[in-house]
Structure 1
Amino acid sequence: MTDLPHKRQGIAPGEFDFKTETDKSRRFDYLLQQTHLFTQFMEVCKRPPPSPLKMPQKFPPMSPSPRKRKVSEGASRQFRLTEQEEDAEMIQTHTTSDSQVLHFSFTPFYIKGGEMRDYQIRGLNWLISLYENGINGILADEMGLGKTLQTISLLGYLKHFRNIEGPHIVVVPKSTISNWGKEFQRWCPSMKVITMIGSHAERSEFISQELIPGDWNVCITTFELVMREQAAFKKFNFSYLIIDEAHRIKNEKSKLSETVRKFKSTNRLLVTGTPLQNNMHELWALLNFLLPDVFGDSTEFDSWFEAKRLDNEELVERLHSVLRPFLLRRIKAEVEKGLPPKKEIKVFVGLSEMQREWYTKILSKDIDIVNGAGKVDRMRLLNILMQLRKCCNHPYLFDGAEPGPPYTTDYHLIKNSGKLVVLDKLLLKVQQQGSRVLIFSQMTRVLDILEDYCLWREFQYCRLDGQTPHEERTALMEDFNSPESKKFLFMLSTRAGGLGINLATADVVILYDSDWNPQVDLQAQDRAHRIGQTKQV
């Protein structure tokens, strides 16, 4: 490939290095002011921060730099500043002292798709503060609070107030890529956004005709494609590297994490609504990605949080102190007062006669493993659990269980599953009251059975699973959300439909079977319980 035009190298190489060094100086000052814990991490910084911000009283004043001290003592002229060094210092002082951090109290003029909520404007101000202090951060608001909009508003601020048009890169799951593109178009149409997705031939044409020429502000691509096409992305000095669903890089040795760490970027932002599962090393991996010069050693970081030396209260307090400068997390109950709280109902259902027969067969066949006799193979035990879950969902998931041939769609489809008996009564009731429904299941073959059921009941529906093409996903969501839509229910695979999908026109969410990970179920519920919802979910 040819070299990039100078315009689209983002920040020129020399300017890129200078900006990085300036950010280091600012960030250490900022971190020292935030919490005394960071004095332990600052020993790696060899030069004193030049920022005029006042240092906390508990820190001793910084000594003058060696060069200036030797000049004042009459040392030889070789220690004096060169013209280039003095120019750089003057530019640095000017940008540090004269630049004022903007704080918005209302929706910025470049946001065109509507009004931002108060907490979203506060989130934008927090992101701007991080940028101006040279800090990378984690936007970790609960799902459904508009993290995408807050991120877009930050990039709009850089373009319209700092004259930084990019290039920016946004790395997202495949399920959210169309949503990110639509949100940019809706909220900030002044940003020119390109999306990399498609086959190998389509991507090659995209790289040569759109990516490399560089007439764009933001490039959106997926986790998989950023690894496959990393050679093209390495040619850019990105202004912002943004990763959605950032818990995907909590393992610093994963291929995705190693790939994005190779990219040159002035700033980094992680976006995630999924909290980490109490793993300190995963937290260090994210902080190391954000600030490798501060959080460089995992063993040193772990030593700060040794549970043997700290009780739980002290451990939590210390963790909050470390995360305060980097992480912003709000939950819906705290900030979105106008959103009606969701109401959860758990329905316990018995087994049908056919389900009892199949359940007994499965247990009888592998009773030794269930009772723990002999050497228990974990994979075989997990397989038994999966077979029992299939039986609880619907016995027709087993080959030979459905009567036939000929195979007919009739009431036997309902009566042979305890869950479907209850679901049938529930759907008929909520349809009468004017509600619209989302149904989630882990198993795509359960969706096949539900699809037959909907055809028999003459329910109008949409279906989305892992095999649904990208373009069709977008069309299905638009069809379901349109004001004139006649679709009564939307069936989704929990794994394929848990992220980046806004179906707030529905007000009933049914989890036909729960996931082992409770976060997946919460994500499924938040497809409807999110901003824009006017009914109780």
Structure 2
Amino acid sequence: MCSIFHFTSTVNGAGKVEKMRLQNILMQLRKCCNHPYLFDGAEPGPPYTTDEHLVYNCGKLTILDKLLPKLREQGSRVLIFSQMTRMLDILEDYCLWRQYKYCRLDGQTPHEDRNRQIEEYNMEGSEKFVFMLSTRAGGLGINLTSADVVIIYDSDWNPQMDLQAMDRAHRIGQTKQVRVFRLITDNTVEEKIVERAEVKLRLDKLVIQSGRLVDTKNQLNKDEMLNMIRHGANHVFSSKDSEITDEDIDTILAKGEVKTEELKQKLESLGESSLRAFSMDTPGATTDSVYQFEGEDYREKQKVIPIGSWIEPPKRERKANYAVDAYFREALRVSEPKAPKVQAPRPPKQPIVQDFQFFPPRLFELLDQEIYHYRKTLGYKVPRNPELGPDAAKIQREEQRKIDDAEALTEEEIQEKEQLLTQGFTNWTKRDFNQFIKANEKYGRDDIENIAKDVEGKTPEEVMEYSAVFWERCHELQDIDRIMGQIERGEAKIQRRASIKKALDAKMARYRAPFHQLRILYGTNKGKNYVEEEDRFLVCMLHKLGFDKENVYEELRAAVHAAPQFRFDWFLKSRTAVELQRRCNTLITLIERENQELEEKERAEKKKKSGNANQNTPGGNATGKGTNAGKRKADGALDSAQKHKKKKK
């Protein structure tokens, strides 16, 4: 029902086919079954359009296009699972074209967007009809009980992954019967994938869950891969017309039920030995030998595949010398060694001046003048390179002009230079500077007291003096962008810690006895591992120990071990400090969201009260009654009109 991926090859006489190439071919065949637009260049365009060609070029999407309207009429809501995120992109275009409201979740979805979409989908009266997910993305927090239809667009090698995907709708709170549809393209590699998954499930039931162990490796070998790739090849090469039909969806579903029943009966007929070998091609019990089939003995000969019905996977040919080709000869051509770059001469015994020592700018002018005059005495000429462009040539000419016009330093300028060399931070080394930058990143630029403690060998007065000059002249440093980025990232972390501490303080202030009364608004993100008593203890103890303290999670772990109420709680006591930190971060996010909702509610109430107060003030109501001042103004206008009338008479 889908476009088929064609490839050419050469026959591998030795029969040694690399496993990696076969896995790649299997993946290409799976992409053929999902949608031909997964291959670059298959989609017509540019310009690229989203219309009916998205559907009629793919058999699975044709079935889906017939199934979704019927499910929508029945009032159902749908989950669609796929292995490939690019397939989810195509399904997004399809939903936009059909105007289906949808949500999407995969491994790249941020945590906040994931929670928001789950809440929107589970909201009562939600307009979201489709929720598309990648099969292996998710976790314990995904609860989609508002859906009652699960569509497995393509099956996973591991059947447990598909079962876990179905369980997204089979959560506690599901009130409807959940139906599962699995889309499988006929006569393709997908049939073999589903068969192998069913064999794994049956083997798990017969052997593993019975208490016996299995030594059979679950990984595919080369022969099994070849059999899967060859499956349906004769049918594909013999078919010429499209097999996408216009049958009614009920007829298609009926055929799927028949196929499922056939697969079930075939599995029932297999014994444990066949399941251990992960093969559904084992002959029946009536056959005398596994090499006997339809009266022919295959023990000593290999089955010959008719010419034209199958092409062996390609063998990669390696060339001993790539230089025989003109392209590689040009690419690998060794150029002549470049001449070493000549450094411009500098005067001997010149003082070493670092930019972080912040010498006066006048010193650099005198040092440059000394360097230029020294080059002039040597007759140094700036090398010209016309390939660098006009801007570089202009810079080179300016450099040469400075050398030609340079004069020797006078006695006064030499004394001035010696005096300026003492005015910088000469006792500050590169190590001191790095310690100063790291301390600014750790404590923030305003906490001079703690910064001075981290700079070894410097007094607080020296650090304060250096800090004032640094923030005034930091633009003179060569790598100032990197340094400022490092400091700003540290300050952002400090600000984040302060906001978390503020959120915890606000949460604790609402309870008289937080260790007993504190409640956490989980929403749909409670999870299954931690209970509320454990979360309450973690939050309260984290606030008590101090969130911004170093090694706080190690202390929190020790407090958990020492707490008498958790002496038999193996789960919580076995958590590492990193796992406790991860759980605390989740709880802090919930607390911040709760605080934000309370603040918005308070602002709304204040706004409502202020609006009512404005309506109740004199002259501010809607009855049209004026204030006393307005009344006096009207009376004065009436008196002036009467006086004017008498005067006129």
Q: What TM-score, normalized to structure 2?
A: 0.27
Q: What TM-score, normalized to structure 1?
A: 0.32
Higher RCO structure (Cα 8 Å, ≥6 apart): 1
More strand by share: 1
More helix by share: 2
